[in-house]
């Protein structure tokens, strides 16, 4: 049966995120993903408080990155979290958001090696073993280990969009968070995930395949699409040119939006988001419109559907719509 995840961006005071998380758990969501960006509340503080107020829902960073946070620190954090929420902790990791990292002049050196090495570090340290590693990105001396271990094995999901990262997710991930909302993009992504799985002697069925979507729902479809504009702007800004061209969009438009965002000219950036961009990079509209697009994704082979930011202009009402009108259609 398909699982439903939900993403929260901790840009509000902590209790509001916890409040939404409790509601999501009560309405049948299976996974909770909290984004990890330096300019929002700390992801692990938020997860720890949320874990204390929930009982069933799985939770973890969605996604952290190895450039801003050393994987040894990620291992320490998720292993600590596993003591608060035993058996409920997952870890999403990816190369990071290019636009956000550039604010700090951090660049994504050797992303494939960085993620491969980071996962090796996290898996070793959370299991309580020592690791010596001299890689392309990370260098750990003999004896590097935590003084404790996670209470349960922690599944690691790789957030991916490019073909090589998708293959890596299929090869070494416990799951993959496909950063896409379009069935066309997800179908193409699964070809690469499947190839990676075969490389390591596995099949696609051995992974939890999550469509990590930008999602916005409301009774008023126009209102839902309007709420998706800021998120779509950041997606477009971080997209490779080939992805934009794949949807008939101009890479120059992506460059312009990225430039405005990097200068903090958010109104200018958002004004450049078109209906075509919203269609390509979000699932937004009325409940029925969203269900139709979700059905297409699930037919392709998605096993977890992540309701990603912004969720809706009225987040609490949007969670209620998904929990009462959408999830039952797929879990009946």
| Residue range 19-37, pLDDT digits in tens | 999 999 999 999 999 999 9
Supply the pLDDT for residue 214.
96
Supply the pLDDT for residue 102.
85
Average confidence (pLDDT) over 68-85: 98
CATH of the domain at 196: 3.20.20.30
3-state secondary structure of 149: coil
Q: Rounded to the nearest 10 degrees, what angle do helices 287-300 and 183-199 cross at? A: 30
pLDDT digits (tens, 9 = 90+) for 270-315: 999 999 999 999 999 999 999 999 999 999 999 999 999 999 999 9
Residue 84: phi and psi, rounded to 5, are: -85, -35
pLDDT of 332 above 80: no
Supply the pLDDT for residue 207.
97
Supply the pLDDT for residue 144.
95
- Residues 221, 203: one domain? yes
User: Which residue would you say has higher pLDDT here, 83 or 161?
Assistant: 83
- Residues 5, 147: one domain? yes
What are the structure tokens assigned to 260, written together? 């405005």
Q: Which residues of 117-135 are buried (b: 16+ CB within 10 A; e: fewer)?
A: bbbbbbbbbbbeeebebee
- Residues 147, 179: one domain? no
Tell me which residue range forms the domain holding 136.
1-154
- Residues 294, 189: one domain? yes
- Residues 55, 181: one domain? no
Q: Domain tally for the chain?
A: 2
Return the bridge partners of 216, or none: 284, 311
Average confidence (pLDDT) over 220-247: 93
Q: Rounded to the nearest 10 degrees, what angle do helices 221-238 and 251-262 cross at? A: 90
Domain boundary among 91, 120, 154: 154
- Residues 23, 128: one domain? yes
- Residues 21, 139: one domain? yes
- Residues 204, 245: one domain? yes
Hey, what's the torsion of the CAs at 210, 213, 219, 224, to 10 degrees?
Answer: 170
Supply the pLDDT for residue 311.
98
pTM attached to this predicted model: 0.94
Contacts of 246 (CB under 8 A, 6+ apart): 184, 185
Residue 323 included in any domain: no
How far apart are alpha carbons 104 and 106 in whole angstroms?
5
Return the bridge partners of 138, or none: none
pLDDT digits (tens, 9 = 90+) for 97-155: 887 898 899 999 999 999 999 999 999 999 999 999 999 999 999 999 999 999 999 99
- Residues 146, 79: one domain? yes
What are the structure tokens assigned to 263, written together? 């200068």
How far apart are alpha carbons 47 and 78 in whole angstroms?
10
- Residues 202, 307: one domain? yes
Determine contact, residues 117/137, Cβ cutoff 8 Å.
Answer: yes
Tell me whether strands 304-311 and 208-217 are parallel, antiparallel or unpaired: parallel
- Residues 72, 179: one domain? no
3-state secondary structure of 27: coil
Asked if the peptide bond before residue 253 counts as cis, ω within 30 degrees of 0, the response is no
Least confident of 76-85, 95-104, 149-158, 318-327: 95-104
Task: Give burial (CB, 10 Å; 0-12/13-18/19+) of 157.
Answer: buried
């Amino acid at each position: 049966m398909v699982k439903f995840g939900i993403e929260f961006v901790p840009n509000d005071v902590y209790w509001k995120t916890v409040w939404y998380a409790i509601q999501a758990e009560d309405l049948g969501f299976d996974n909770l993903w909290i984004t990890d960006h330096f300019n929002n509340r700390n992801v692990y503080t938020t997860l720890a408080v949320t874990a204390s107020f929930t009982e069933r829902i799985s939770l973890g960073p969605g996604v952290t990155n190895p450039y801003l946070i050393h994987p040894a620190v990620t291992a320490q954090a998720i292993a600590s979290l596993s003591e608060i929420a035993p058996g409920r902790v997952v870890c999403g990791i990816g190369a990071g958001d290019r636009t956000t990292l550039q604010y700090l002049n951090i660049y994504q050196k050797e992303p494939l090696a960085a993620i491969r090495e980071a996962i090796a570090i996290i898996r070793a340290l959370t299991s309580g073993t020592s690791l010596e590693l001299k890689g392309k990105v990370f260098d750990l001396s003999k004896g590097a280990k935590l003084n404790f271990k996670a209470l349960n094995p922690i599944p690691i999901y790789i957030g991916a969009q490019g073909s090589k990262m998708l293959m890596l997710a299929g090869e070494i991930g416990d799951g993959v968070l496909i950063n896409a909302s379009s069935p066309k993009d997800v179908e193409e992504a699964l070809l690469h995930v499947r190839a990676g799985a075969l490389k390591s002697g596995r099949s696609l069925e051995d992974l939890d395949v999550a469509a990590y979507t930008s999602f916005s729902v409301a009774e008023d479809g126009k209102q839902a699409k309007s709420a998706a504009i800021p998120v779509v702007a950041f997606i477009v800004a971080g997209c490779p040119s080939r992805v934009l061209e794949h949807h008939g969009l101009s890479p120059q438009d992506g460059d312009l939006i990225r430039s405005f965002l990097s200068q903090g000219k958010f109104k200018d950036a958002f004004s450049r988001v078109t209906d075509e961009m919203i269609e390509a990079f979000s699932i937004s509209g009325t409940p029925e419109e969203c269900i139709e697009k979700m059905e297409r994704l699930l037919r392709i082979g998605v096993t977890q559907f992540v309701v990603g930011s912004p969720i809706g202009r009225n987040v609490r009402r949007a969670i209620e719509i998904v929990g009462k009108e959408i999830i039952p259609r797929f879990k009946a």
